[in-house]
Each structure stands twice: as C-alpha cells, then as structure tokens.
Amino acid sequence: MYAILNLFNTLISIYIWLLVASVVLSWLIAFNVISTGNPIVYQIRDFLYRITEPALRPIRNLLPNLGGIDISPMVLILALYFLRDLAFEILLP
C-alpha cells in the first residue's frame, strides 16, 4: 500500500511542477520575453496547455472574474496538496 501512495505522491508532485511551469511560461509569453513563433516554445506551450487545461477549466468556470488575475492554478495546487494529504491520512493510520 505504501508503494501505491508513494507513486500517487510522485504523480501529484510532477503535475504540480507542470502547473508551475505552465504559469511561468504564460508570464514569459505575456511579458514578451519569449515568443511563441519559436517552434520549440510553441511545442512546450502546447504540451503544457493540453496537460493542465482540462483540470483548470472547471475551476475557472467556478471562480468569479477577478479582472484578469487567474488564481485557478493556485486553487488546483491547494486541492492537489489536500488530496495527497487526505490519501496519506486515510490509508496510513
């Protein structure tokens, strides 16, 4: 059981890092530090978008409009930490 929880913990950690990378990349594109005209940047952006957007879209639909500030990645990261801690608490008494 501990091995499954360890795998679950690792997968959540990797997904959180992908979320952070997606946020940082979106900031770099928004501030014109890097351009999506570069094929490598475009592929990385497309990969991160496809991985993170299905989880972020429902959260964005629930949150109120904050005037251009997107806090959905932070909400998702907090929810993932909560699920990870809950799984360890329930399955490892």
Burial of 22 (0-12, 13-18, 19+ CB in 10 A): buried
pTM value is 0.92
Per-residue model confidence as pLDDT tens digits over 28-81 = 999 999 999 999 999 999 999 999 999 999 999 999 988 889 999 999 999 999
Q: Distance between terminal CA atoms of the chain?
A: 12
Taking CB atoms within 8 Å and a gap of at least 24, the contacts of 81-86 are: 81/12, 81/16, 83/12, 84/8, 84/9, 84/12
Average pLDDT, the chain: 95
